[in-house]
Amino acid sequence: MAPKGRKPLISGNWKMNHNHFEAIQMVQKLSYHLSKDDYGAVDVSVHPPFTDIRSVQTVLESDRIPIALGAQHCHWEEKGAFTGEVSPAMLAKLNVSYVIAGHSERRTLFGETDEMVNAKVRAILANGMTPILCVGESLEEREAGTTEERVRSQVIAGLAKVSAEQVAGLVIAYEPIWAIGTGRNASASDAQAVCAAIRGTVTASFGAAAGEGLRVQYGGSVKPSNIVELMAEEDIDGALVGGASLDADEFARLVQYRLA
């Protein structure tokens, strides 16, 4: 456990990378690097593309690898005429544990609104999985000084009609849009300030137990060279990692940040 009492969660968001053969190799390699102590200290999840999920599930289960299976997206309906979509029930059937909701790429490239993100969060929870709700400001919003306002409104909208007990078990990822895939990460103290504001918003709306239980990840150009200082911050309970999660050696080094 981290000194803050919440077990960190380090998640690899593969985005549209790795076919199912590469995915199998990736998790096998990752498992060679990670030890029982690593899994004891940190929860680890991988979020492959949909076409890889069944293959990754099979490897994790047959080799008893304690990495949690994640997805990057889902629809909020159980089933129906939604061409191209995948339902939360389908993911739950594959023993998916964590589903990312509202990643900024989905919001900006695919038009996801706060209302859609909230519908997904509730559907993910209703199917027994844990949402990783993503929030974060654009460069213009940061420069205009409206970061906290923006993030607070995304948190409130994303968690509408979710119970305090459910909020206590979920994950929010703070990902400043200008830091994603740019090599430019938020400084540890800037990231801490926003993560503390997120926890404060949750505490104010859902109570102290929800605020204390909630895990807040930072995401945006997390690398082995900056993870240690980020993880040292009081309100940062993990990382949502894109680019650096695609290579097994590099991702293992992130999971093992405490040994650096």
Residues in the chain: 260
User: How many H helices and E strands in the chain?
Assistant: 13, 8
Minimum Å gap between C-beta 220 and ligand PGA is 5
Kindly name the residue from 18, 103, 105, 141 that is annotated as catalytic. Answer: 103
- Using an 8 Å Cβ cutoff, are 176 and 137 in contact? yes
- Coil, helix or strand for 30? helix
Q: Which of 67, 242, 255, 256 binds ligand PGA (CB under 6 A)?
A: 242
Q: Which single residue brings its beta carbon nearest to ligand PGA?
A: 242
- Using an 8 Å Cβ cutoff, are 47 and 100 in contact? yes
Q: Which is nearer to ligand PGA, 53 or 240 (CB)?
A: 240
Question: What is the rounded CA–CA span in Å between residue 13 and residue 228?
Answer: 19
User: What residues numbered 89-148 form the site for ligand PGA, per CB under 6 A?
Assistant: none
User: What residues numbered 192-231 form the site for ligand PGA, per CB under 6 A?
Assistant: 219-222
Q: What angle do CA 105, 83, 129 make, to 5 degrees?
A: 60
Q: Which of 52, 137, 141, 175 binds ligand PGA (CB under 6 A)?
A: 175
Q: Which is nearer to ligand PGA, 76 or 178 (CB)?
A: 178
Q: Which is nearer to ligand PGA, 210 or 240 (CB)?
A: 240
Q: Is 180 in the site for ligand PGA (CB under 6 A)?
A: yes
- Using an 8 Å Cβ cutoff, are 174 and 240 in contact? no
Q: Which of 241, 248, 252, 254 binds ligand PGA (CB under 6 A)?
A: 241
What is the size of the binding site for ligand PGA (CB under 6 A)?
13
Minimum Å gap between C-beta 100 and ligand PGA is 8
Q: Which is nearer to ligand PGA, 168 or 231 (CB)?
A: 231
Could you report how far apart the first and last alpha carbons of the chain are, in Å?
Answer: 17
Q: Which is nearer to ligand PGA, 27 or 222 (CB)?
A: 222
Active site residue 175: yes
Q: Which is nearer to ligand PGA, 210 or 216 (CB)?
A: 216
Question: What is the rounded CA–CA span in Å between residue 99 and residue 69?
Answer: 9
- Coil, helix or strand for 185? coil
Number of neighbours of residue 13 by Cβ within 10 angstroms: 26
Q: What angle do CA 130, 108, 95 make, to 5 degrees?
A: 20
Minimum Å gap between C-beta 180 and ligand PGA is 4
Active site residue 103: yes
Longest dimension (CA), the chain: 51
Phi and psi torsions of 184, nearest 5°: -110, 100
Q: Which of 53, 67, 243, 252 binds ligand PGA (CB under 6 A)?
A: 243
Enumerate binding residues for ligand PGA (CB under 6 A). 13, 175, 180-181, 219-222, 240-244
Residues noted as catalytic: 103, 175
